[in-house]
Amino acid sequence: MHPAPSIIVFTVLSGLGFGLLAFLGLNMPDVSGWVLFVFFAVGYGLAGAGLLASTFHLGHPERAMLAFTQWKTSWLSREGILSVACLVVLGLYALLAVFFDTKLGWLGALGSVLAVATVFATSMIYGQLKTVPRWNHWTTPALFLSLSIGGGALLASKSEFAGLVLLFAAALQIYAYYDGDTRFKARGHSLNSATGLDTGPMRLFEAPHTGSNYLMKEMIHQIGRKHAQKLRLIGMGFGLILPAILLLFAHVGHVLVVPIILSHLAGMFVLRWLFFAEAEHVVGLYYGKHG
Amino acid sequence: MTQLPALTDKKLGLVIDLDTCVGCHACVVSCKGWNTENYGAPLSDQDAYGADPSGTFLNRVHSYEITPKDAPAQVVHFPKSCLHCEDAPCVTVCPTGASYKRVEDGIVLVNEDACIGCGLCAWACPYGAREMDQEEKVMKKCTLCVDRIYNENLPEEDRQPACVRTCPAGARHFGDFNDPASNVSTLVAERGGMDLMAEQGTKPVNKYLPPRPKTDAQPEPEIDILAPLLAPIASDSKGFLGWLDRTLDKLPGA
């Protein structure tokens, strides 16, 4: 798949933002006043920036309100509704907590649930797609959730918990790579199944056109395969393992946490870029790819 | 509404005969011609006369080579457009309700006024049947020429999809799969109509007829009564050619 920068930025930042908001709703860290205000500002900034970036991906962002209507079947619609509901509920909670020093526990908890549900909905936009076997697996929501909770805990100064969750996420990521690398073939997708013709080995004799098209640019696009293994290690190293080790074994104060956050962010951008760049769409079979 | 109907009154779709298709791309051209000036936004081209031309098409013809073990190799021309699936994943993922499947005839359509151009439906389609128009930024797909098949302003013989009407080989057939006596149902039953990428569970309405096997492509060697008269006459050549013949024979490795 084409790794569109708007979607990479959206999923990384909103994942981190909603992760932080989930902790703030549970009164972690237990702060108040302006400190709490800054925490909420960071959470809303990340989640908001992510949602804003996602609208750059749309052909007609002026019709985005319609995306709140199809929650019965569409994970994208559910994500939109859940994210707005989360931001409204936690906005009210933050308003009362910051300016009136009143923390409504149930309201915050509801906001936390909505934040986690938003990340789950985001992950299911990809996880539901049978056309991309690498994504169509329980590891996709599991990874999105653990990365979001781990990153959120890191921002919420829950160092040890963050370290443990990021380590778990690294293990999950390794399993997702291991299992995902063979899933396309394991599901039985081939040019023979794509065309229904099973009388012998097949290959593309002539493409429908000499140029490119939307499908090829968007879904059959292959990039970064040469360095994929290195990028996996770089992404997991900087995004998950290095932060986890520092969080678990070093005494992390307010100063050291900044480079850890930057390292985590950089690694996450690499991992999310790979998530899209490495995804093979079954339509590629018709164009002589993935055979 | 992006909820799929459990049943549709009619089940309109195409049968594409891979045995008959000659790969002329006439269906591609007639499809583009009709649909660029009728239902919804035009089908734009980008850099049409430049170095990197591309454009929106609702129907494309691929060609494949099959090399069976015990039979001659075969080229199969393979037209592909929306299959109007019964379990259409493109419809359910749509966040705005722009994509829908009609209860009356099962046609999958896009209401372009409600399309936000997110592209998720194209990702959800295994067949590459949906293309985002790069000019209008809305999703385009085969409408089964919904503006022809019910169009009483057209002569009756033209009330079928443009691709079917134009096919010079008769490789494309249009009809109602809910009617067991229809032309399409009969063809599927007689010729073993098949689904594309059945393992995706989309239950496509359009069916493909497999090419007939070419096992008897090479006929029995014929007995030619003129053969004795056509045997080589020069058994002992003379002159330069004779010398050349003898010299080449003497070289090792012949």
Of B71, B76, B134, the CB nearest to A214: B134
Kindly provide the ipTM of the predicted complex, given to two decimals. Answer: 0.92
User: Out of A58, A219, A286, whose CB is closest to B116?
Assistant: A58
Residue B219: the pLDDT is: 59
Residues A208 and A220: their CA atoms lie apart, in Å, by 15
Residue B220's pLDDT is 63
B99 → chain A, closest CA residue: A70
CB contact under 8 A, A129 and B194: no
What residues in A contact B97, CB-CB < 8 Å?
Answer: 66, 69-70
Of A250 and A182, the one with more pLDDT: A182
Query: Could you give the maximum distance between any two Cα atoms of chain B, in Å?
Result: 89
Burial label, B154 (beta-carbon count in 10 A; 0-12, 13-18, 19+): middle
Cβ(B59)–Cβ(B31) below 8 Å: yes
Residue pLDDT, tens place only, B100-125: 999 999 999 999 999 999 999 999 99
List, in sequence order, every residue forming a beta bridge with B139; answer none if it has no partner.
Answer: B132
Pairs of CB atoms within 8 A across A/B: 191
For residue A290, the model assigns a pLDDT of: 79
Kindly tell me if the per-residue pLDDT of B191 is higher than 60: yes
Residue B237 binned pLDDT confidence (cut-offs 50, 70, 90): confident
- Average pLDDT on A253-282 reads 93
φ, ψ of residue B125 in degrees (nearest 5): -85, 125
Number of residues assigned to chain A: 291
Rounded Cα gap, residues B193 and B152, in angstroms: 31
Residue B28: what residue type?
A: V
Report the residue of A51, A55, A60, A192 to disrupt the B interface, i.e. the one with the largest count of B CBs within 10 Å. Answer: A60
B54/A211 Cβ within 8 A: yes
**Positive or negative torsion for Cα A231, A233, A237, A241:** positive
Predicted confidence (pLDDT) at residue B78 exceeds the cutoff of 90: yes
As a residue count, chain B comes to 254
pLDDT of residue B215: 64
Q: Which residues contact A279 (CB under 8 A, 6 or more apart)?
A: A1, A132, A134, A135
pLDDT, position B213: 79
User: Quick one: tokens of A73?
Assistant: 């079947």
A91-135: per-residue pLDDT in tens? Answer: 999 999 999 999 999 999 999 999 999 999 999 999 999 999 999
User: pLDDT at residue B254 above 60?
Assistant: no
Q: What are the residue ranges spanned by the domains of chain B?
A: 12-209
Asked if B28 and A208 come within 8 Å (Cβ–Cβ), the reply is yes
Q: Does B95 touch chain A (CB under 8 A)?
A: yes
Q: What is the mean pLDDT of residues B179-201?
A: 96
Contact A281, A1 (CB under 8 A): yes
A129's tokens: 């797609």
The reported pLDDT for the residue numbered B250 is: 85
B64–A204 C-beta distance less than 8 A: yes
State which CATH number among 3.20.20, 1.20.1260, 1.20.1630, 1.10.10 fits the domain covering A5-198+212-287: 1.20.1630
CATH fold for domain B12-209:
Alpha-Beta Plaits (3.30.70)
Mean pLDDT, rounded, for B149-167: 97
Chain A positions touching B78 (Cβ under 8 A) are: 195, 286
Q: Which residue does chain A place closest to B138, by CA atoms?
A: A59
Residue among A76, A195, A283 minimizing CB distance to B128: A283
CB-side exposure of B140: number of CA atoms within 13 Å? 26
Per-residue pLDDT at B180 exceeds 70: yes
Q: CB count, 10 Å around CB of B157?
A: 7
- Contact (CB<8Å) A283/B76: no
B216 versus A122: the higher-pLDDT residue is: A122
pLDDT class of B221 with cuts at 50, 70, 90: low
Which residues 206-245 in chain B show a CB within 8 A of chain A? Answer: 208, 210-211, 213
Per-residue pLDDT tens for A224-257?
777 889 999 999 999 999 999 999 998 877 788 9
Work out the percent of chain B whose per-residue pLDDT is above 70: 94
Q: What pLDDT score was predicted for residue B234?
A: 64
B115, A201: Cβ pair inside 8 Å? no
pLDDT in tens, A37-89: 999 999 999 999 988 888 888 999 999 999 999 999 999 999 999 999 999 99
DSSP state of A61: G
Spatial CA neighbour of A155 closest among A273, A9, A12: A12
Contact criterion met (CB < 8 Å) for A209 and B60: yes
Taking a C-beta distance cutoff of 8 angstroms, is the pair A13, A53 a contact?
yes
Contact B123/A202, CB-based, under 8 Å? no
Q: Return d(Cα B88, Cα B81) in angstroms, integer.
A: 14
CA A221 vs. chain centroid, Å, equals 20
Over 80: is that where the pLDDT of B74 sits? Answer: yes
Confidence of residue B246 (pLDDT cuts 50, 70, 90): confident
Inform me whether the C-beta atom of residue B199 falls under 8 Å from chain A C-beta atoms.
yes
Mark yes or no for CB contact A282/B197 under 8 Å.
yes
Residue type, A51: L
Q: Is the pLDDT of residue B218 over 70?
A: no
The mean pLDDT of chain B is: 92
Confidence at residue A77, expressed as pLDDT on a 0 to 100 scale = 96
Identify the pLDDT of residue B92.
97
Q: Per the CB < 8 Å rule, is B18 touching A73? A: no
Touching check for B132 and chain A: CB below 8 Å?
A: yes
Q: How far is the C-alpha of A178 from the C-alpha of A31, rounded, in Å?
A: 42
Residues A70, B94: C-beta atoms closer than 8 Å: yes
β-bridge mates for residue B65, sequence order: A203, B75
pLDDT score at A1:
87
CB contact under 8 A, B131 and A205: no
Q: Is B111 on the interface with A (CB under 8 A)?
A: no
* Contact across the interface for A77 and B95, Cβ inside 8 Å: yes
Question: What whole-number distance in Å separates Cα of residue A16 and Cα of residue A216?
Answer: 31
Confidence check: pLDDT of B217 > 60: no
Cβ distance B2 to A72 less than 8 Å, yes or no, reads: yes
Q: Which candidate from B94, B199, B210 shows the least CB-CB separation from A193?
A: B199
CB under 8 Å, gap of 24 or more: what pairs does A183-188 form? A183/A133, A183/A134, A183/A136, A183/A137, A184/A133, A184/A134, A184/A280, A184/A282, A184/A290, A186/A133, A187/A133, A187/B199, A188/B199
Q: What is the mean pLDDT of chain A?
A: 93
Name the residue type at position A276: F
Report d(CA A37, CA A196) in Å as an integer: 59
CB atoms within 10 A of CB B134: 16
Residue % of chain B over a pLDDT of 90: 79
Distances (CA, A) of B136 to A93, B112, B133, B178: 42, 10, 6, 35
Is the distance from CB of B162 to CB of B30 less than 8 angstroms? yes
**Preferred mutation among A286, A289, A290 to probe B, highest tally of B CBs within 10 A:** A286
Distance (Å) from the C-alpha of residue B178 to the closest C-alpha of chain A? 22
